[in-house]
Structure 1
């Protein structure tokens, strides 16, 4: 069943849309403001979002950008009145599928939603048909979809491939998938870890060591033909001696085959590097001739912090992979914490955290208490606001409003306009939160603007 999120601050409008779409066979969730909506979209990728352009606290266009940033595949329909048609048109330039004008015509709503969902299904089928996603590479971000498409095109290309990415991004996994999808999959994939190869030998001794290791890994005797894919892992950490020997080895393997060849057969080369090699070449710490030899087809694997939309997918992937019956789920608070964390260890760290949480969890749902201690520690949601626990939606709203008031020198009129609400609404919200704001005509420096 297709799932839809409605973001609308007017309760009657929100409930009317929900009832209409539920009766049409859709799964529908509701959010009354941008804060709540962002948390819900972070925890669950929706097929379609209907969002009012005139929301309190956040501009509808800004929320649209945020939705597309969190979940690029989600279709968005904006809701607006006649006075905001220009904004609705601008929203389509930002990625919205269409817009609906108030007052609504039920049939128009159903048709627009149906067309948006059909487009979503079409785009999903197109991606699935274009590329067979490797089971151990997970992602729906634009970056990963492009990598999956590229993988389908380059697997049988004989040009050397250089995979660049931080630790834990999946460089070796991608290399294995390239090999498995190629016509060379019947031949061995031989991995040489460049940072562990001996560098105190002469170039000739280092070359012979490499040659012997390849023959051993391939199960071949001296002078037997070796056809393989050679994976040079961590090539950016190869010593000068190892670099020279690798270049000699690669040149030898590309010569016309004869009985005197130093390494008979053919080698398909894949190299991985944590660092961009061009600056290393400029610093003369990496050989330029070796760089050109290995970098025929460069592939950049982005870190998790550059594709946060994939975090929930990766977390659920490892959860289903390692969970022992009964199946477990992740609490919204855990998913929210995952989205705020930077993941310096990338995919490998997500895997480790999920395995740890499964070991510690005694309930059907993994909570913050099941995470490693460094992830259990709360992070500030707003700058200069320290906290020791998760904020509720009301607390988050209160802190956000007070921060905007402070930024605007406690000018209620200016702040209310910025938030997209009336001054009376602002005053009522502050009273509801237990915050008393001093009269606007008094100078801010002469009083404590808010007291609790």
Structure 2
């Protein structure tokens, strides 16, 4: 027996599945559906780890953990939650939870986390209390956003450099602001600079400052962004647009923790956390020699990739309500929106991502002729979306129909045959896109890396062969 696990979960179905998986792994599992039951069990047995839901019938599973941690300082705690928001991930980090799993979760991944937690029992907890985080800038509970929330929570208590990736309008600066606002540097300054918005001949002065007389027009000493951010966070947006000379100076600063103003003679020590972001694919830029490979590795310590809105359609309703409330706070008419209007919004392509949706919500608030926004209002104000036949979902449905007509499998085998028929070209194409990198492919697919590796073996797909077709 590997040890005893305490599972605090009021959903009987989830508790049954998790208990069976942990017992198969060799653990003894005790279950409770309440805080009171949890506390009784903790008094009767020593546990190697505890898994707890957040919302329980008799209280908040996280808020009630301070007493548990005081009495059991080396007990690893894994938080499970259907309250899939950034606030929940941060609260789990606040109580130094070993891991946080939003529901629904990957059962294999959960079991691995429990095994790791039991092996790391010597890591002492550092409870911080419940905390009050107020209104959060990131909205959405889709599966695609849960990985983002978890990564944000993991980098709050360290100074690791983070590279935030994503299309324009996905909210990269909001992620940077959240890391600063909820991290241990929150009392220091947050300074943002957009590399694409600064003329190339001025960017070094903007970042590092300059001395009087350093160049024509430098009539006085100027303090750069690094010095302005000292003790806090410097957010370098659109890092892919930074010119080569500035890349070299930035790399030197990241390596040494010191800067020299343009025209200056002395180096100045700076204590700054670096967050960077780009909407560009840096790999071909590195291959072309326009972006330094060594700088990329310095920046890409922890990558956080923001999904485009088309991959988190489930969040459109929550985002729209949020933006309509913002519009009312900004002086526009307060509007309600019905379900049909939400469905109309979900069918749009949103090439401008969350930023485009925000602008659309403000326009709807302004232009709607009645308090409740309906589908007709959406179409009248925003126009009709592209014909349904051009949407990826429609194309896929047509492909499935054609496949069924051409080779319908015998009864009882449809699901397996359809899954294999979908997975083979899907996995091959994704591996081509990632150059055979299975970690990136699993992230793009939204599945566990071990699951991907297993399916590739079962389907007879060679990752290296797929990459070679790129």
Q: TM-score normalised to the size of structure 2?
A: 0.50
1:242 aligns with 2:242: no
For the residue of structure 1 that corresponds to 2:268, the secondary structure is coil
Distance 1:168 1:383 in 2: 23
For the residue of structure 1 that corresponds to 2:159, the secondary structure is coil
Question: Does structure 2 retain, via aligned residues, the 8 Å contact 1:165–1:171?
Answer: yes
Distance 1:141 1:283 in 2: 36
User: How far apart are 1:374 and its partner, in Å?
Assistant: 7.7
Question: Does structure 2 retain, via aligned residues, the 8 Å contact 1:168–1:345?
Answer: yes
Question: Does structure 2 retain, via aligned residues, the 8 Å contact 1:356–1:371?
Answer: no
1:211 aligns with 2:208: yes
The equivalent of 2:82 in structure 1 is: 124
The equivalent of 1:345 in structure 2 is: 352
Question: Does structure 1 retain, via aligned residues, the 8 Å contact 2:364–2:381?
Answer: no
CA change 1:383–1:175 in 2 (3 A) is closer
1:322 to 317, 320, 327: 327
Distance 2:244 2:227 in 1: 28
Question: Does structure 2 retain, via aligned residues, the 8 Å contact 1:164–1:301?
Answer: yes
The equivalent of 1:188 in structure 2 is: 189
Cα shift readout 1:225-268 (whole Å, capped 9, x = no counterpart): 9323111110011122222232233334259xxx9862323111
The equivalent of 2:304 in structure 1 is: 299
Cα shift readout 1:113-164 (whole Å, capped 9, x = no counterpart): xxxx989x98425866443586210011112122112212201211111000
User: How far apart are 1:165 and its partner, in Å?
Assistant: 0.6
**Uncovered stretches (5+) of structure 1, i.e. residues with no partner:** 1-74, 78-116, 385-399, 410-417, 419-452
CA change 1:260–1:372 in 2 (3 A) is farther
The equivalent of 1:81 in structure 2 is: none
Distance 2:252 2:174 in 1: 27
The equivalent of 2:279 in structure 1 is: 274
For the residue of structure 2 that corresponds to 1:131, the secondary structure is helix
Question: Does structure 2 retain, via aligned residues, the 8 Å contact 1:252–1:263?
Answer: no
User: How far apart are 1:216 and its partner, in Å?
Assistant: 5.1
Question: Does structure 1 retain, via aligned residues, the 8 Å contact 2:236–2:277?
Answer: yes
User: How far apart are 1:320 and its partner, in Å?
Assistant: 2.1
Distance 2:239 2:89 in 1: 31
User: How far apart are 1:313 and its partner, in Å?
Assistant: 1.0
Range 161-170 or range 142-151, more displaced: 142-151
2:374 to 367, 375, 389: 367
User: How far apart are 1:361 and its partner, in Å?
Assistant: 1.2
1:377 aligns with 2:378: no
User: Alpha carbon RMSD of aligned pairs, Å?
Assistant: 4.3
User: How far apart are 1:168 and its partner, in Å?
Assistant: 0.6
Larger radius of gyration: 1
For the residue of structure 1 that corresponds to 2:254, the secondary structure is helix
Range 321-330 or range 301-310, more displaced: 321-330
User: How far apart are 1:408 and its partner, in Å?
Assistant: 6.6
1:230 aligns with 2:234: yes
Cα shift readout 1:321-348 (whole Å, capped 9, x = no counterpart): 2236974222333212211111111111
